[in-house]
Amino acid sequence: MPSISLKGLAMPESPIRKLVPFAEEAKRKGAKVIHLNIGQPDIKTPKIALEAVKNNSIEVLAYSRTEGSLEYRQKLAQYYIKNDIHVTAEDIIVTTGGSEALSFAMGSIADAGDEIIIPEPFYANYNGFATAAGVKVVPVISDFETNFALPPIAEFEKLITPKTKAIVICNPGNPTGYLYSSKEIEELTKIVKAHDLYLIADEVYREFVYDGAEHHSILQEEGIEDHAIIIDSVSKIYSMCGARIGCLVSKNKKLISTALKFAQARLSPPTYAQIAAEAALATPDSYFESVKSEYVERRNVLIEELEKIEGVRVAKPQGAFYCIAELPLRNADDFAQWLLEDFRVNNETVMVAPAAGFYATKGLGQNQIRIAYVLDVEKLKRAVFIIREALKSYIG
């Protein structure tokens, strides 16, 4: 039998999707599965985006420009300027989701064997992108006790080697919901400038910050232009996960011209999805206010209900729509699979994402789960009730 590549064998499974076969089998047997495992919002996509696709008059569905249509990039630049991120259309490459933007970034800045430092827990697919690029992820541990705040800069300094190419953050964070302060971004700016590194910020949840806080982008820092790379996407902001439109943003011209070569190899981003994404930029601010209000209510209810369960602790998120919960057990992977295979309340069960898959350090997160509060309040209450009853049975 022909062999599989070492890179292919090393590719990690998604902790978000690896339990899908068990969920599908549960559904096949007639059970209802409440999905808390994946960040697929139930918020309606802005009508203006859907109507733009329905009402277009395209007769030939042609390739778009490799870097994305000029009109869309110009409007994107205006969106960023409105958010005090001063870029032009030439600083933007439109990608097939934020995932492709991350892949382009890694391919552009690092060679096989190079290293990137990431505070953990982190979005699990960063591991996948790094593996595909032959890059080593070097984790720096953030602490549950501090709500997963930025680790001390001294901890980063210890990990920097001649092979280090970048520090990667997600702000606000997936899976933690942590929102980095302007002071923390300033500290990261100083360290990447001092060591001549890139700072890659995944800012796809920019619009979802709570409790009166404000999002601070890395490109709001002075003197970071040559070091900063922003990863963005319409998936979460406009509840358009299926559009698969994202972008890479940087004022470093050499970086952009290099990433463009990777983009040329895949030809162009999808045309219809760009039409929808461009139209979505006209969404009124009231949409975001309404969505943020909904997520705040969901977060508050979820945490309140989880904290009623004996032995459960929750790190309170200030952004995005995820939280990490610590359970009174040893193996959350086993518990999550058992929920799908063996546990029911009125023929209902819950699917969660075991948090160990969001860590690079073996042994961490074994008793934690990530919950995406992307369902309405009543479903969240029902899900937590099922988790409560499941823990009683499982631990017993």
Are 304 and 382 in the same domain?
A: yes
Are 224 and 116 in the same domain?
A: yes
**Given this model, what pLDDT does residue 17 score?**
75
pLDDT digits (tens, 9 = 90+) for 112-160: 999 999 999 999 999 999 999 999 999 999 999 999 999 999 999 999 9
Are 221 and 159 in the same domain?
A: yes
DSSP 91: G
Boundary (domain end) residue, out of 234, 249, 280: 280
**Given this model, what pLDDT does residue 8 score?**
87
Alpha-carbon distance of 333 to 356, in angstroms, equals: 8
Residue 172: cis peptide before it, omega within 30 degrees of 0 = yes
**Token duo for residue 133:** 């690029």
| CB environment 295-326: b (16+ within 10 A), e (fewer) | beebbebbbebbeebeebbbbbbbbbbbbbbb
321 inside domain = yes
Are 386 and 367 in the same domain?
A: yes
Are 54 and 38 in the same domain?
A: no
Alpha-carbon distance of 253 to 136, in angstroms, equals: 25
**Token duo for residue 134:** 């032959």
DSSP 84: T
- Range of 255's domain? 47-280
When the pLDDT of each residue in the chain is averaged and rounded to a whole number, the result is 96
Alpha-carbon distance of 355 to 372, in angstroms, equals: 12
Average pLDDT over residues 298-311: 97
Are 188 and 306 in the same domain?
A: no
Alpha-carbon distance of 231 to 129, in angstroms, equals: 13
pLDDT digits (tens, 9 = 90+) for 252-293: 999 999 999 999 999 999 999 999 999 999 999 999 999 999
pLDDT digits (tens, 9 = 90+) for 63-88: 999 999 999 999 999 999 999 999 99
Boundary (domain end) residue, out of 251, 280, 309: 280
Are 60 and 189 in the same domain?
A: yes
Alpha-carbon distance of 335 to 312, in angstroms, equals: 14
Strand order of the β-sheet with 198-202 is: 92-95, 246-249, 228-233, 198-202, 164-170, 115-120, 136-141
**Token duo for residue 319:** 């952004």
Signed CA dihedral, 180, 185, 187, 191: sign only = positive
351 inside domain = yes
Q: Total domain count for the chain?
A: 2
Are 251 and 133 in the same domain?
A: yes
| CB environment 37-64: b (16+ within 10 A), e (fewer) | bbbebebebbebbeebeeeeeeeeeeeb
Boundary (domain end) residue, out of 222, 255, 280: 280
Rg of the chain over Cα atoms, rounded to whole angstroms, equals 21
Domain with 102 in it: what CATH number?
A: 3.40.640.10
Average pLDDT over residues 307-334: 96
Residue 15 has pLDDT above 90, yes or no: no
User: Do the bridges between strand 246-249 and strand 313-314 make them parallel or antiparallel, or are there none, so unpaired?
Assistant: unpaired
1 inside domain = no
User: Are 76 and 89 spatial neighbours (Cβ–Cβ below 8 Å)?
Assistant: yes
Domain with 359 in it: what CATH number?
A: 3.90.1150.10
pLDDT digits (tens, 9 = 90+) for 175-202: 999 999 999 999 999 999 999 999 999 9
